[in-house]
Chains A and B, each alone.
Chain A
């Protein structure tokens, strides 16, 4: 907890100890042996039974000893060493939506459960609202799990975009560049689903690409089996399009995609929904039972990849609505490596101790006088 630059200076703590002993000795009534103790006991109480020791605490002595101790610690160079163990500072969004029930749990509870399951490492938790963050605690108090009263402000996430910080929210309105993000989601409408199970086919050409991997991750998260045969699948994700149409870039809230897209033939026979449009050109399109991806290879994702994953996941949820029993959207955790130990930098106590020593010495003089 405390380290010292000059530990040998701690020997000086003997000084206040000696001062204390000497002062207490001086305060004691002198002791004298006598053979006439019985005679002294006959001295009437009203003549001289005043207590020898003063009842008043030795404030000046206590202050002086405190001053000397603080001075010794300052001379020894007391400091709080950098925390050797990396530790995440988990900022919990206390927006009302974090307390909305989904699947019998609030989003906050699901986030904390996901955090426990992932074991990102030692954490300290803070509530965040606007520019305010609460004092850190080692564990989440039960009171935090209840929807708080009072106003709530959108957290100023960018203030906390630092290494070792983990945002926990259902809707991050900013992209973390150095902080981590645990996104909970929470827009699942459970009334749309049925008990029917379905399989998903992913075009082998998409394997390894951004959309292909996300689709497989979605299957795993939603419990949807995927199949290698398109005929068996109730839903398919295919690489589609003819000729490369050139380099395109599209952007949504918090993320952007850039890459080479192919041209999708217009469909007039069957209504379709454009999931992603870049420069007026649809690059991901869906219709019942089929999602067409027109990217050539894997586009470059810039920005909030979690938000992108969630956005794609929500679209798959909608596409499968009525076909599968969708659980609440699973939290997505993005951790940029391990928190840096420099998150809790070394702090020197010397200025504080020196000030304390001077203040106590001044007070001791004042009390003495």
Chain B
């Protein structure tokens, strides 16, 4: 079976803005007057590659963004393997080299968990470097997990083509998504060591929220135009719901 063609129809669910119109069930739309999309299940032969960002900024949050991303990674990989597909996780290792961990059956799960436990958020390991790996070009599905602050939507969407769907999950700490008012704070970028001190008042919060919303909206719009998925999740949120959403 050719890559990207191994998906099996599982059912339907209401269409949400930004979803790939190729999944839209036009018959149901004509018949019911409401938009429904086909929900597919991974089938034997699907090849999922999960690109996991392990840069130092992933250490932010409690639990850290890396922990949350690892939980999502494990869930997605396991779901793919259970569905008969093949998953592979690519990430930078503690020494900074790119490492891979395949998951073909559920028996490989302990190995994957061990691999994920060894991930350390450190340095300026670029997610862009992972997205340029050749195995991603052979995948039927690519999921990029990270805070996505060092990549642009085009870096991920370049992988989207016929037979390969991509998804990006922006894992962000609660304090990044909704910082609280404080007399003063010194933000520290663990990746580059930069600091930025400022007084946080409602005006600053509003400006920050506006800037962040603008950035996320740009991602969302770019993915929506290409019919791909983009999700934002706090690092302290439950991962199961998003995992289910991504599996569908």
Contacts and interface: CB of A to CB of B under 8 A. Distances in A.
Interface of A: 28-44, 47-53
Contacts of B65: 35
Given A29-B197, A37-B196, A48-B198, A43 B60 contact: no
A306 to B, nearest CB: 77
A30 B185 contact: yes
A52 B172 CA distance: 25
B19 interface: no
Given A33-B60, A43-B207, 5 more contacts: A34-B173, A35-B172, A38-B149, A39-B208, A43-B208
B147 interface: yes
B174 to A, nearest CB: 11
A43 B179 CA distance: 13
Nearest to A27: B184
Residue of A34, A39, A43, A47 contacting most chain B CB atoms (<10 Å): A34
A33 B59 contact: yes
A345 B206 CA distance: 71
B84 to A, nearest CB: 36
* Interface SS majority for chain A: loop
Contacts of A36: 147, 149, 172, 176, 208, 212
Given A29-B184, A29-B185, A35 B211 contact: no
A42 B211 contact: yes
A29 B215 CA distance: 27
12 contacts: A29-B183, A30-B185, A31-B185, A32-B185, A33-B188, A34-B57, A34-B187, A35-B147, A35-B191, A42-B208, A43-B211, A48-B200
A47 B65 CA distance: 28
A48 B204 contact: yes
Q: Which 4 A-B pairs have the closest CB atoms?
A: A48-B204, A35-B57, A52-B184, A50-B199
Interface in B41-75: 57-60, 65
A242 B195 CA distance: 110
Given A44-B207, A48-B201, A52-B199, A34 B188 contact: yes
Contacts of A50: 184, 198-199, 201
B33 interface: no
A33 B189 contact: yes
A48 B207 contact: yes
Given A39-B211, A40-B187, A34 B203 contact: no
B187 A52 contact: no
Contact of A29 (B186, B203, B212): B186
B211 A34 contact: no
B198 A32 contact: no
